[in-house]
Amino acid sequence: MTIEHVPAVDDFDQPGEGKVRCEACPIRCFIKPGQTGSCDRYGNVDGVLTRMDPVVVLERAIERGDAVVPFTGEASGSVVSSRLIAAGAGTTYPDYKPAPFIVSAEYEGVDTVTVVTEGIFSYCGVKVKIDTDRHVGDETSAVMYEGQPVGHVSTTEYGSQMLSLGGVHHLTGLTKHAGLATMRALEELCEKRAVELQVEGGARLVVQAGRAPIINGVTERRMRVGCGSATVGMFAGQWHELVDEVVVVDEHITGVLSEHQAGAVLGMRPTGIKIRGRRSTPGRIFNVAGPGTGWGGTTITDPLEVLLPFNKKHAWPGLRLLMTSTTGEDWAYYVLDENLVPVPTPIPADVLPTVEQISVNCEPALTSVVFMAGAGGSLRAGTTTSPIALTHSIHSGETRVTVGGAPVYLWPGGGITIMVDVERVPPGSFGHVPTPAIVAPLEFTVPLDRYLALGGHESSIRSFDDVIAHDRVRFVREQSKYTG
C-alpha cells in the first residue's frame, strides 16, 4: 500500500470511520487509512496504528558476537551489551506506560536488560565544530537557517570555530516559524546531511558531519597545525639555520621566531623586527589584525601589513625573512634591502620544504556535529517506576546510556544530560514531531537484578530472541569512526 502524509488534526476533532488516533506525541493526530501522522513516523495500516520504520538491530555485533555497548556490571565485572537499538522502536509517550521494548539477554553469564525507546526532545540542540581558522562571525552572533534564528556562534576552540544551535528557547520560545526551522536544521545535521547557514554579519556556511566545511563558497582544506606561537615552537629547529626570521601570522597569537622562547634556546640573533599588535610574551603577539578569512584567520592578504619598520640597531641588509600562515597555505619570502625594506624574493629550495611541513602536519578540515539533549524528564517513567533511582543509577555507572548504540558523554550534575557524536549513530535514527521537537533513539542497559531493584517494568520484559522472531526488524552496520 502507498502511505501518504496527512497533517495533524485539531485535538477536539472526533475520529471518523477507519481513523486511528496516535498517542506518540502531544499532537495526537487522527490518521486515516493509508496515511501517516504529522511526523511521518506512525501510520494507519488496515486500521492499526503502526510504526512505519522497523526496530534496528546492529548486524555487525551479531556477525561477530561482540559487545557493542560495553558496560561493567558492579556485581560481576562482566561486560554486557545491547544489540537492539531504539531507532524505529517508538516512544514511551504518554510516559506512564512501559517503553516499547524492554529486552533481556545474557552476556558472559550476566542477565541484562536494555530499555529501548525513542525520546521526544524539546530540550536539545547540536554543537557544531568547524575545523578552520577562517573567521565565520563574532561570538554570540545569530546563526540563521531558512531566514530564521536557530542558534549562535560560540567561543572559538583550538583551530575550530564553534556553533551552538537549537535548545528549547529556539525550539519553543521564539516564533512558530523559527521553532520549525530550528527543528529542521537539527534533524538535517543529526542525519549527517548538508545544511546551509548564514551568520549575521559573518560568513555563509555549508556544514555536514564528516565533511569539509564550505565557507563563503570555498571548501576548506586544512585545520591549523597550531596557533602562530605553537607553529614556531614546532618548526623552529628546521628554520633557525635556513632563515634569520620567521613570522607565523595568526589572528590569535602571531609567532615571531627570533624573539620566541624556541628562538632564544636555539641562540638566534635579534633581528630588530617590529610587529603590529599587543605583545604578550617574547615572540607572542596578540591582535596583529582583525578576524577575517585571510592569512591565519585575519583580514590580512598582504603579510607585510603586520610589519612596522625594522629597528636599525639590530636589522641588517640581506636578512632572510619567511612569513607563513598557520596552515602553510599562505607564505612569502623576503630579503631586506639596503634600506631594511623587505623585498619579495623567490623562496630557496631548502626553505620551501619547511613550509610544506606545516601543511603536512595539518589535519583535514572537517565538520563535527554533537547532539546534546536532556533525558531527565518523564520518559524515565517508561523505564522504571522510580525515575530518580534511574538517574542515580546512570550517574553511578550502574546503568549505561547509549543513543542508537553509540556511547554518550554524560554531563556531571543533576539530570541526564548527554552528548553523542552523530557520526556514530546509524542513519535514519533521528526524526521529529512538529510540536516542534527532535526524536532520537535512547537505550538504557543494566543488569537484570539491578533493573528490578530500580522498579523496572518486570511484566514487560521480553527476550532478545523473541523480539527478533516476532517483530519487524532492520539490520544495520555498527557506526564507528574508530573501529572501522
Overall domain count for the chain:
4
Among 401, 441, 405, 440, CA closest to 424: 405
Among 457, 450, 441, 461, CA closest to 393: 450
Is the pLDDT confidence value at 334 over 80?
A: yes
Among 144, 158, 238, 149, CA closest to 195: 144
482 found inside a domain: no
- In contact, 347 and 107? CB cutoff 8 Å: no
Q: Are 118 and 44 part of one and the same domain?
A: no
pLDDT of 23: 81
Mean pLDDT for 76-81 is: 36
Compute CA distances 186 → 156, 388, 391, whole Å.
21, 29, 26
Q: Are 355 and 383 part of one and the same domain?
A: no
pLDDT in tens, 405-447: 899 999 999 999 999 999 999 888 999 988 899 999 999 999 9
Domain end point (choices 360, 386, 403): 360
157: which strand partners? Answer: 160
Mean pLDDT for 93-120 is: 84
pLDDT in tens, 123-154: 999 999 999 989 999 999 999 999 999 999 99
Q: Are 215 and 271 part of one and the same domain?
A: no
Q: Are 209 and 300 part of one and the same domain?
A: no
Residues ≥6 apart with Cβ < 8 Å to 339: none
249: which strand partners? Answer: 325
The whole-angstrom separation of Cα 281 and Cα 271 is 17
Q: Are 199 and 295 part of one and the same domain?
A: no
pLDDT of 478: 63
Is the pLDDT confidence value at 67 over 50?
A: no
Please confirm whether the linkage preceding 94 is cis (ω < 30° from 0). yes
Residue-number span of the structural domain to which 286 is assigned: 228-360
Q: Are 12 and 87 part of one and the same domain?
A: no
Q: Are 237 and 349 part of one and the same domain?
A: yes
Give, for 419, the enclosing helix (H) or strand (E). strand 417-421
pLDDT of 193: 97
- In contact, 183 and 193? CB cutoff 8 Å: no
Q: Please identify which residue in the block is written with the cell numbers 517513567.
A: 381
Is the pLDDT confidence value at 76 over 90?
A: no
pLDDT in tens, 356-407: 999 999 999 999 999 999 987 788 988 999 999 999 999 999 999 999 889 9
Among 420, 372, 411, 415, CA closest to 390: 415
Q: How confident is the model at residue 479 (pLDDT cuts 50, 70, 90)?
A: low
Name the amino acid, one letter, at 451.
Answer: Y
pLDDT of 203: 96
Cα-based angle 364, 366, 367 (whole degrees, multiple of 5)? 170
pLDDT of 74: 37
92 found inside a domain: yes
* Beta-sheet pairing, 284-286 with 307-308: unpaired
pLDDT of 303: 95
Q: Are 382 and 446 part of one and the same domain?
A: yes
Greater confidence (78 vs 443) lies with: 443
- Residue 465 C-alpha cell reads as 530472541
Q: Are 150 and 267 part of one and the same domain?
A: no
Domain end point (choices 307, 328, 360): 360
The whole-angstrom separation of Cα 474 and Cα 455 is 30
Is the pLDDT confidence value at 339 over 60?
A: yes
SS3 296: helix
